[in-house]
Each structure stands twice: as structure tokens, then as C-alpha cells.
Copies of this chain bind each other. A is one copy, B any other.
Amino acid sequence: MNKFSQFSQEWQPKINQKLTDDLALIAPSSNNAEMAPMLAYALLNGGKRLRPLLTLAVLQSFQAKISSDDLRIATMVEWVHSYSLVHDDLPAMDNDQYRRGQLSVHAKFGHANGILVGDALLTAAFQVGTLATSINPKRLFKVINSLALRAGVTGMVGGQFYDMQNHQGQVITKEWLLDKVYQPKTAALISHALLAGGYLLDLSAADCDLLRQYGENFGLAFQIQDDLDDYQQDADEEITSLPHLIGLTATQSVKANLLSDARFCLKKLGQGHLNFNAELLDQFLQQLENK
């Protein structure tokens, strides 16, 4: 078993447990017995927890001990990711009835509750941050700022806005798709996950920037892999993703270049830090390479 598999198998259950515990704090059934299970349905739905894993991988790569509040900070982005799936599935957005083989939140609980569950999860993401009282406040502020910056109008929400335009059949270019949709919608939040690790470790601005670049390159490659996996389905739904725009071979080449750029960031981090072991973060890249 390689480092990536070992790491994921160790930390996925701990991430799920932290999400479960914090949900019980934030949405006690005694307060709202109806909404608490809806939030659990949306949040604890078998996701791979890629984003929290990336934050924790940064800590592990720098040989840092991972505290309970580090884990908590790592999960903040997962609350945001979960809300975004709920709202993206809404009838006025992508109108998806299913998510990971189960009814989507609005399909199961109704349209209004789909909106409200997403709103509650987004709000909770920031509340989770304030529960991590053992974390240095200055570091935590950087995490909150980065999360809001990359989740909001200049990040994920803005990316979804332009993605909706894409679905409406406008003429698009490769550059537009990467800059206006893939970067803000997918790569921004993934790069946040890396930055959160850097902020928790109080790394220099230059090192954090290398983590951000790794995250953006990995995030774009991750989105492109998703396009490759959904190639036929997107064609059926008349969605123009990158391989439809520039062809499969050119898309594979874009992906390879992004992974190479991400790897270069790890090399630079290793040059500056004797205690940095690039192996685990490199294996996140290999997961995409081997597909």
C-alpha cells in the first residue's frame, strides 16, 4: 500500500468523525429535529474528503503533529464543498436529482430545504473555525480569509456563475474555460486546502505561495480528469468541457503540464526545507497521472 492510500485510510474516518461531532454541536437535534438529519444527509454522504486530506497532507509532509483543532480547521473547507454540491444540484442550477447514487438534497427534502440546507452548511463552515480555540488567532484569520476569498464571488460562486453561462451554450475558448470556470470553481477551493496547511504551520508567504500554486495546478488537473471521466455524459448533456473544446489528446497534454508544474512546486518547497518530505503530496499527483 502506498503512502497516499495509507494516509487516506487513516484520516478519512477521522475527518468523518470530526464532521459528525461538529455537526452535533452546531445543529443539535434538540434545537431543530427536522433540519439536523437533512444536514447530516448532505454532509456525511460518503465523500472522499480530498480537500481536508490535502490540508492534513501538508502538515504531515512537514513532519508536524496533527492536533484535534488542526483536523477541525482542515474540515472547514468540506462544509463549504458540501454546501456547494447541494446548491449546484438545485433545479435552477444543474437540476440534478442524484448525487453519489442517492437522491440529491432538494430531490429528497424539497426545493426550499435544498436552499436552506446549503445556507446552513455554508454558515457552519465559519462557525467551525471559531470552535478551534487552541489555534493561534492570527493563523486562523488567514484560514478564514482565504476560505471566504476562494469560496465567494472571486472564487467558487463566481466559477459556478460562469459555468451556468457555459451550460447556456455561449461560445467559449480554452482560456475562458480555465480562467473563468475551472480555476475559481474547482481549483480555488483546492488551493485553499493547501494554504490552510501552510497557515497552520505559519510558513512564509513565499512557501504558502508555492502551496497555493501546487493547489491550483492540482485543482485544474483534477477538474480536467473529471471532464475526461465524464466525456460521454457531458456530450449527451451538450456541456462543453475542455476535451470537447480542444480534443482528448490536447486535454491529456494540458493535464500532464499542470501536474508537472505542481511537481515543480514540491521540488522548490523541498529545496527550502530539510524537514519537508514531498512523497505524499507527489502521490496525490500520481493518482491523477495513473488514471
Contacts and interface: CB of A to CB of B under 8 A. Distances in A.
A151 interface: yes
Interface stretch (A1-9, A26-34, A270-278): A26-34
A201 interface: no
Range for the number of chain A residues in contact with chain B:
35 or more
Interface in A28-43: 28, 31-32, 34-36, 39
A176 interface: no
A145 B161 contact: no
Interface string A177-200: 000000000000000000000000
A161 B126 contact: no
A158 B127 contact: no
Contacts of A149: 127
Contacts of A124: 148, 152-153
A149 B32 CA distance: 13
Q: Majority SS of interface residues in chain A?
A: helix
Interface stretch (A56-64, A112-120, A208-216, A230-238): A112-120
A108 interface: no
A52 to B, nearest CB: 19
B148 A130 contact: yes
Interface of A: 26-28, 31-32, 34-36, 39, 83, 87, 90, 92-93, 110-116, 118-120, 122-124, 126-127, 129-131, 137-138, 140-141, 144-145, 148-149, 151-154, 157-158, 160-161, 164
Given A27-B153, A115-B115, 8 more contacts: A26-B152, A28-B154, A118-B119, A119-B157, A122-B123, A123-B151, A123-B157, A140-B141
